[in-house]
């Protein structure tokens, strides 16, 4: 178990979950969402916002957490 990799993965999971839960209520998140919706239209702006701020951090965090449990270091992940 690599603790640095695990810590980064858990941080990313928590960050993505926080954004998911607060995107409509937190003022700074609402501003980002409104900007995307205004610039790209409602369905496409919401989709891009969700992909960038929620789905990618949660997905990458899950991958990094899985790697941390399997004793893979960060340098191994990012160098190939």
Please check whether residue 16 is in contact with residue 75, taking contact to mean a CB–CB distance below 8 angstroms: no
Q: Give the start-to-end residue ranges of the domains of the chain.
A: 3-73
Over range 64-74, report the average pLDDT. 94
pTM flag (> 0.75) = yes
Q: For the chain, how far is it from start to end, CA to CA, in angstroms?
A: 19
Please check whether residue 65 is in contact with residue 13, taking contact to mean a CB–CB distance below 8 angstroms: yes
DSSP 70: T
What band does 80 get if pLDDT is binned at 50, 70 and 90? low
Model confidence pLDDT, tens digit, residues 28-50: 888 888 999 999 999 999 999 99
Residue with more model confidence, 24 or 50: 50
């Amino acid at each position: 178990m690599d603790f640095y990799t695990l810590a980064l993965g858990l941080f990313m999971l928590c960050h993505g979950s926080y954004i998911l839960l607060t995107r409509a209520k937190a003022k700074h998140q609402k501003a980002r969402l409104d900007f995307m919706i205004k610039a790209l239209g409602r369905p496409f702006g919401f989709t891009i916002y969700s992909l960038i701020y929620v789905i990618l951090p949660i997905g990458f965090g899950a991958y990094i957490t899985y790697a941390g449990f399997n004793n893979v270091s960060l340098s191994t992940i990012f160098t190939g």
